C-alpha cells in the first residue's frame, strides 16, 4: 500500500500544481511526436513514389493500347466522300447552335441546303482537289481545296468517322503579264 499511496501523491502533485516548471523542453514536442511526424512524412513520400511508378506503368501500357485502337478504327480513304462532307460544311451542320449564321428555321435550312448542293456540285464540276494524308496509320487528315471559292476545308479521320476541323482561305496564284 505504501507504494501505491506514494505514486498517487506524486501524480496528484504533478497535476495539481499551478506553479511554472523549470523544464527547458516544456514547449517543444515530445520525442514520440517527432518520430510520428517523421514516419508520416516518410510514408507519404513512399506512397507518392509508388503512385508515380504506377502512373508511368499505366501510361506505358495505355499508349500502345490507344495506338492499336486508333489503328484498327482508322477510316479508309474510300470512306471519305468529299462532296457529301463539303455539303455538310456549307449547310452549316458543323456550326454551333449559338452561331448567328447557322440556319434556324425550315426556310433558312432549305435555302442553305440548296445553296450547299449547288456550290458542292460546282466545285466537283470544276475539279476541286482532295488530298488525304495518312499519319502513321493512326489518323488521317483530309483536305478539300475548292478552286472556285479559294477555300480549303480540313477533316480529321479517326475512330471510324470523319470530323470537320476548319476552313481556311488561300490566296490565288497571281500571274504576271510582262
How does pLDDT run across 115-168, given as a tens digit for each residue?
888 888 888 888 889 999 999 999 999 999 988 888 999 999 999 999 999 999
The structure's pTM equals 0.64
Mean pLDDT on 3-21:
49
Average pLDDT of the chain? 82
Q: Which residue has the higher pLDDT, 6 or 160?
A: 160
Q: Which residue has the higher pLDDT, 176 or 132?
A: 132
Contacts of 77 (CB under 8 A, 6+ apart): 132, 140
Position 72 scores a pLDDT of 94
Contacts of 140 (CB under 8 A, 6+ apart): 74, 75, 77, 80, 132, 133, 134, 156, 157, 158
Position 20 scores a pLDDT of 53
Longest dimension (CA), the chain: 126
**Contact indicator for 153, 146 with CB cutoff of 8 Å:** yes
| Cell 463539303, located at residue | 86
Position 94 scores a pLDDT of 82
Position 4 scores a pLDDT of 45
56 pLDDT more than 70: yes
What is d(CA 173, CA 171) in angstroms, rounded to the nearest whole number?
7
What is d(CA 49, CA 70) in angstroms, rounded to the nearest whole number?
31
Among 11-25, 44-58, 131-145, the range scoring the smallest mean pLDDT is 11-25
Q: How big is the chain, counted in residues?
A: 178
What is d(CA 38, CA 17) in angstroms, rounded to the nearest whole number?
33
| Cell 506512397, located at residue | 47
Partners of 162 in beta bridges: 157
Position 178 scores a pLDDT of 46
Q: Is 48 left (phi over 0), alpha (psi -120 to 50) or beta?
A: alpha
Position 3 scores a pLDDT of 45
DSSP 8-state class, residue 157: E
Amino acid at each position: 500500500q505504501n507504494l501505491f499511496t506514494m505514486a498517487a501523491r506524486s501524480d496528484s502533485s504533478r497535476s495539481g500544481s499551478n506553479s511554472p516548471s523549470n523544464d527547458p523542453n516544456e514547449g517543444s514536442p515530445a520525442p514520440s511526436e517527432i518520430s510520428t511526424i517523421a514516419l508520416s512524412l516518410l510514408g507519404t513520400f513512399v506512397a507518392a513514389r509508388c503512385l508515380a511508378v504506377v502512373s508511368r506503368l499505366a501510361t506505358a501500357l495505355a499508349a500502345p493500347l490507344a495506338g492499336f485502337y486508333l489503328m484498327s478504327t482508322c477510316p479508309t480513304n474510300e470512306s471519305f466522300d468529299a462532296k457529301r462532307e463539303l455539303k455538310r460544311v456549307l449547310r452549316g451542320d458543323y456550326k454551333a447552335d449559338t452561331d448567328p449564321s447557322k440556319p434556324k428555321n425550315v426556310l433558312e435550312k432549305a435555302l442553305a441546303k440548296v445553296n450547299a448542293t449547288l456550290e458542292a456540285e460546282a466545285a466537283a464540276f470544276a475539279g476541286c482537289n482532295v488530298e488525304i494524308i495518312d499519319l502513321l496509320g493512326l489518323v488521317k487528315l483530309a483536305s478539300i481545296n475548292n478552286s472556285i471559292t479559294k477555300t480549303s476545308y480540313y477533316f480529321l479521320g479517326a475512330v471510324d468517322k470523319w470530323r470537320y476541323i476548319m476552313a481556311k482561305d488561300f490566296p490565288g496564284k497571281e500571274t504576271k503579264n510582262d
